Amino acid sequence: MQQLAQSWLVLQLSNSPFMLGLDAFLGSAPILLFSLVGGVIADRKERRTLLLISQFIQMSSAFILALLFAFHVVHVWHILALSFVSGTAQAFGGPAYQALIPTLVQQDDLPNAIALNSIQFNLARVIGPALGGIALTQLGATWCFGLNGISFVAVIFSLFILKTRYIPPPTKESVLASMKQGFSFIRDQSAMGSLILLSFCMTLLAIPLIVFLPVFARDVFKQGASTYTILLICSGVGSICGALVVAGMGKFRHQGRAALLMLCALGILMAGFSLSKSLVLSCVMVFFAGTMLIAVFATISSLVQLLTGDEMRGRVMSVYNVAFRGGMPIGSLATGALVPRFTAPIVLAFNGVLLTVLGLSFLVTRRRLSTI
């Protein structure tokens, strides 16, 4: 809900695709800056406590935005600053969150758990824009941000009643030494480096498709927030379908090869969406692109988790989080800078072509990954 209102209002207030990309950049840049430290802390502290602190900060940011809009004193820099604050909270909460999931299920159920977990995220992407579109057009931005802040209450309550199995062992190692251990573990796992590199490239090139949907709605289809809402919902529904497919399949042979083939399909769908002039066809394309995106994400995440022991999970997932989330701000900022010069359809189509080439090259050169 907040994503819809925030993206649309940044574009309205600034009339600049670059500012849209900058907002996405500032929301994800803290992942690059703080996630590695967050991963060490997730292996040393109770992960539920870290998540609670993260949720309280994000809830406060949403309420502050709601108040700024309610009193008509908001400026673009307010939105950008609060995006950075929320991103910082996610940088410390993300590794703890990802490390917490495997402690709640058996290892054989881990791929299903990760896929099902992605469903709740993407279900929010469907329900949120639908409610957000109504709130934005009928009630105003204040309600979008206020309702988002209220939604954190349920998450915080769930965390309070959650009982975890992982108790971190005491350690006297420095943060830097613990970080080095994490990097050494990743280096010793032959396929881990390929998975992390793949996650970075995927988000670098694919996430701008979602970030710049407002530009397609306004500049390509010459319509307003309702069209943006429809495109975002189609992407979210597709993501739910992709997560259900992965959850239904569970653990299977050659998951790495399947992820690379789906990555190729994602690139083709992105290019098709970018070049489409039909709203109906674009909705179909973005639906299947959402399906492939979440299927690749869930498959890669489950492989990383399966290759990692619990005592290293926070640090490994923090590196994965840096790669996965770190590609978002860089891709969004670069795309925002290129769109005014080359137009959104050309830039996003080029991203799709690069994704397809990336998937094919990994199939040929990273044979160890294909056999997992």
Asked whether the beta carbons of 126 and 237 are under 8 A apart, the reply is yes
pLDDT band at 59 (very low <50, low <70, confident <90, very high): very high
Q: Taking the model in full, what pTM does it have? A: 0.71
Q: Across all residues in the chain, what is the average pLDDT?
A: 82
Give 230-284 pLDDT, tens digit per residue: 898 888 888 888 878 877 776 667 788 888 999 999 999 999 999 999 999 999 9
Q: What is the pLDDT of residue 165?
A: 58
Asked whether the beta carbons of 262 and 358 are under 8 A apart, the reply is no
Asked whether the beta carbons of 206 and 342 are under 8 A apart, the reply is no
CB half-sphere exposure, 141, CA atoms < 13 A: 25
How many Å apart are CA 131 and CA 105, to the nearest integer? 32
Mean pLDDT of the 30-46 span: 81
Q: What is the pLDDT of residue 250?
A: 67
Mean pLDDT of the 306-331 span: 78
Q: What is the pLDDT of residue 237?
A: 83
How many Å apart are CA 132 and CA 141, to the nearest integer? 9
How many Å apart are CA 209 and CA 205, to the nearest integer? 8
pLDDT band at 47 (very low <50, low <70, confident <90, very high): confident
Asked whether the beta carbons of 71 and 302 are under 8 A apart, the reply is no
How many Å apart are CA 122 and CA 198, to the nearest integer? 21
Q: Is the model's pLDDT at 308 over the cut of 80?
A: no
Mean pLDDT of the 171-190 span: 76
In order of their start, the domains of the chain are: 2-161+178-370 (1.20.1250.20)
Asked whether the beta carbons of 352 and 270 are under 8 A apart, the reply is yes
Residue in the structure block whose two tokens are 């109504």: 134
Q: What is the pLDDT of residue 283?
A: 94
Within 8 A by CB and 6+ apart from 305, the residues are 98, 101, 102, 110, 114, 313, 317
Residue in the structure block whose two tokens are 């050494």: 184
Q: What is the pLDDT of residue 32?
A: 77
Q: What is the pLDDT of residue 346?
A: 94
Mean pLDDT of the 302-331 span: 78
Q: Which amino acid is at 7?
A: S
Mean pLDDT of the 24-46 span: 81
Q: For residues 54 and 69, which has the higher predicted lDDT (pLDDT)?
A: 54
Q: Is the model's pLDDT at 117 over the cut of 80?
A: no
Q: For residues 28 and 223, which has the higher predicted lDDT (pLDDT)?
A: 223
Mean pLDDT of the 308-316 span: 75
Mean pLDDT of the 319-339 span: 82
